[in-house]
Amino acid sequence: EQIEKNGYDHFMLKEIYEQPSAIVDTYRGRMLVDQGLIRMAGVDDNLTKFLNAKRIIIVACGTSWHAGLVAEYIFEDFARIPVEVEYASEFRYRNPVINQDDIVIAISQSGETADTMAAIKLAKEKGAFVFGVCNVVGSSISRETHAGAYTHAGPEIGVASTKAFTTQITVLSLIALKLAKEKGSISNSDFHLYLRELDLIPSKIEEALKSNEHITGVASEYKDASNFLYLGRGFNFPVALEGALKLKEISYIHAEGYPAAEMKHGPIALIDEMMPVVVIATRKGHYEKVISNIQEIKSRNGKIIGIVTEGDQEVRELADYVIEVPETVEAFTPLLTTIPLQLLSYHIALMLGKNVDQPRNLAKSVTVE
């Protein structure tokens, strides 16, 4: 096991650090930046279906569901296709309206999650085309779907999902960009810009990982809190959900993720000097609005940990701590803002003496319903 951890103390940490290379493995051979091309067999072979789709329904559980939420923003923005994101467990137990021109995308790291599998079977019965985004090659879900794309993240051992999440977002971004190009819903120059930006993400994650030591300090400051709030807007709302989930899973600290603007409809009542609030406040994406959320937290004495764009000054003046990530286009910020949140939960759990790789009561793949 020590050998498998490759010098890291835990699989989770190793997997966090593997994200730059995992993402390269995800897009290698698929994204041809110089030629301005995206090639994905599962999509290419079914291109008409994708282009004629009236709607995409994403089904998943846990962290994969969060990747689906990020994909909703990306698909709608790039490809102008309406997207619904469903918990597989809810979808399968209602009587969902599915049409033959719907595409169902099932996202699953393990490819074995029972609820996601059941949702796929239901969608197939109703005549939908089902596309899988799995990590484990040859897994049940990858076999059950009509077509798919693997994330190629390599084995993920830590129960709390990290590199699976960012590589799922990468695959889904590639699909959205490909469809956007085919449909002409983004300009050629934007398409090229996005390819170049996606290509730069691995080195920008390397950059973001350099905050590890600084994040250790933030973790030691707040590790004894009983509650955490995570806020984000737009593309980064799902990242807030994912950040909160990571903390809950491995540190057992209660954490809630919320769209920043919804704070005033409830969570603001919880804010006092005991409440650390992690706010994703990158310069792209409702920056001024998020700043006013931060001011509201500050005036109630909440503790603010801002996830900001490199060089940011405005949030720095208001926050107790800031953690910087490099700049990128708004749609790809989740691939960067996620990194400090993974590290923060890792260090807090570690300091609290929790079993980071195998948290209590959780399983890596949930094959029961």
Query: Which residues form the interface with ligand G6P (CB under 6 A)?
Result: 61-64, 108-110, 113, 116, 159-161, 362, 364-366
| Distance between CA atoms of residues 241 and 286, nearest Å | 18
In the bound complex, which residue of the shown chain has the CB atom lying closest to ligand G6P?
62
Q: Which is nearer to ligand G6P, 61 or 215 (CB)?
A: 61
Q: Helices 163-183 and 333-351: crossing angle, nearest 10°?
A: 170
Contact of 231 with 260, CB cutoff 8 Å: yes
Q: Which is nearer to ligand G6P, 83 or 134 (CB)?
A: 134
Partnered with residue 274 across adjacent β-strands are none
- Rounded to whole angstroms, the Cα distance separating 104 from 120 reads 8
Phi, psi of 86 (to 5 degrees): -125, 140
The single residue listed with the structure tokens 């980064």 is: 236
Contact 228/276 with Cβ under 8 angstroms? yes
CB of 336 to ligand G6P, least distance (A): 20
Minimum Å gap between C-beta 146 and ligand G6P is 18
Q: Hey, what are 48's tokens? A: 């008409």
| Both tokens assigned to 36 | 């301005």
Catalytic residue (one of 124, 284, 354, 364): 364
Task: Name the strand (E) or helix (H) holding 103.
Answer: strand 102-108
Nearer to ligand G6P, 159 or 343 (CB): 159
- CB of 175: closest distance to ligand G6P in angstroms? 17
Assign residue 188 a region: left if phi > 0, alpha if psi is -120 to 50, beta otherwise? Answer: alpha
- Nearer to ligand G6P by Cβ, of 159 and 179: the residue is 159
Minimum CB–partner distance for residue 17 and ligand G6P (Å): 18
Instruction: Write phi, then psi, for 81 (nearest 5 degrees).
Output: -110, 130
For the CB of residue 166, give the shortest distance to ligand G6P in the complex, in Å. Answer: 13
Q: Is 54 a catalytic site residue?
A: no
Q: How many C-beta atoms lie closer than 10 Å to residue 29's C-beta?
A: 10
> Where in the sequence numbering do the catalytic residues fall?
364
